[in-house]
Amino acid sequence: MELDSKIYIAGHRGLVGSAIKRKLEEKGYWNLVYRTSQELDLTRREEVDEFFQKEKPDYVFLAAARVGGIIANNEFPADFIRDNLMIQTNVIDASHQFGVKKLLFLGSTCVYPKYAPQPMREESLLTGLLEPTNEPYAIAKIAGIKMCEAYNKQYGTDFISVMPTNLYGPYDNYDLHSSHVLPALIRKFHEAKVKGDEAVVVWGTGEPRREFLYSEDLADALLFLMNNYKSSELINIGTGKDMPISMLAEKVKETVGYNGKIVFDTKKPDGTPRKLVDVSRLRSMGWKAPTSLSEGLALAYNWFLENEADATLMANKRRGI
Ligand code: GFB
């Protein structure tokens, strides 16, 4: 990418898209284009074609998707598979139709088999059954990976697919029902501290292990790959380290400064027992995640305090909770 290249960020207001936008601006890329979902509904092909016809971007970061945690995926499987298939199909095909130089497709590590050998290598894709709680979402993402591969083969496009591990950071989703574990725990411990609750409920057994990558580090890796990676092969992005949810809960408790108890609600699903990604392919290209979990948790909690905490408490007051 050149500093004057026209770069489209699909999903620029989300956790990943907002980090990509900030990183591009920080690096001096000034010719950015993006639309809110009210301005451009990516599930509607005619709107997508009209946008590409008008803007004709050179590069596309496809970070727009319907995403959510384990409960949201489990409760709305049709929404997750339909919307993600429509969004990615429209943007990938329009990128080919309108001559985009390069597209980066964001997958997720849930595309790997539930019991893939750990750490999970890119080659383990499609070698086993998926985690049931997010299979529809995973199938949609696998279809996106295969679509990029097929377009590269048939049309000679340069569409790359990346598989980030679990993410967190600014503009994360803090809604307790639809969010991922890390932002949910930040909010739960914060509210328990403010309200003086004696315990915080953590879902599941606390035994599943997860890896967490700070979103600003992911954005750095995405710009690096857009500029240096050209292949239909998947490439994992992660920190190479994971921990049990129970340990994450202790770290969030410490970051927030909560002194009460932690209890586990084992009626809630654990999901995949482990999904640590093998990052040797990316490491061999010279990229390593710089932000430790302790630093990242402090940054995420500060962002929450500045942007979400009051909004959340106000929303709770309005709902009488
Ligand atoms: O982050 P999470 O919702 O999604 O759950 P996954 C991770 C683990 O944290 C599960 C536990 O074992 C949860 O039971 N957990 C504990 C909690 N307390 C909470 C809580 O308050 N909220 C949430 N959400 N979890 C997602 C996929 O799986 O990973 C998505 O569903 C996507 O499709 C994402 O792939 C990256 O990590 O299990």
Point out the ligand 1 atom lying closest to the alpha carbon of residue 137.
33
Point out the ligand 1 atom lying closest to the alpha carbon of residue 133.
31
Helices (H) and strands (E) in the chain, counts: 11, 12
Q: What is the pLDDT of residue 309?
A: 76
Residue type, 8: Y
Q: What CA dihedral angle connects 56, 62, 67 and 70, to 10 degrees?
A: 170
Point out the ligand 1 atom lying closest to the alpha carbon of residue 182.
1
Q: Could you tell me the residue ranges of all domains in the chain?
A: 7-318
Of 58, 135, 60, give the one whose Cα is nearest residue 91. Answer: 60
Q: What is the pLDDT of residue 69?
A: 86
272 CA → ligand 1 middle, Å: 9
Residues with CB under 6 A from ligand 1: 69-70, 73, 108, 110, 133-134, 137, 166, 179-181, 184, 202-204, 208, 210, 245, 268-272
Protein residue with least CA distance to atom 21, ligand 1: 184
- For 263, half-sphere exposure in the C-beta direction (CA atoms, 13 angstrom radius) is 9
- SS3 of residue 250 by DSSP: helix
Where are the alpha helices (H) located in the chain, listed in sequence order? 15-26, 45-55, 70-75, 77-97, 135-155, 181-195, 215-228, 245-256, 280-284, 293-307, 309-318
31 CA → ligand 1 middle, Å: 36
Q: What is the pLDDT of residue 313?
A: 61
Q: What is the pLDDT of residue 177?
A: 87
User: Which fold would CATH assign to domain 7-318?
Assistant: Rossmann fold (3.40.50)
Measured distance CA(182)–CA(300) in Å, rounded: 9
Q: Is 137 an active-site residue?
A: yes
pLDDT 10s digit of each residue in the chain, 321 long? 999 999 999 999 999 999 999 999 999 999 999 999 999 999 999 999 999 999 999 999 999 999 988 888 889 999 999 999 999 999 999 999 999 999 999 999 999 999 999 999 999 999 999 999 899 999 999 999 999 999 999 999 999 999 999 999 999 999 998 899 999 999 999 999 999 999 999 999 999 999 999 999 999 999 999 999 999 999 999 999 999 999 999 999 999 999 999 999 999 999 989 999 999 999 999 999 999 999 999 999 999 999 987 666 655 665 555
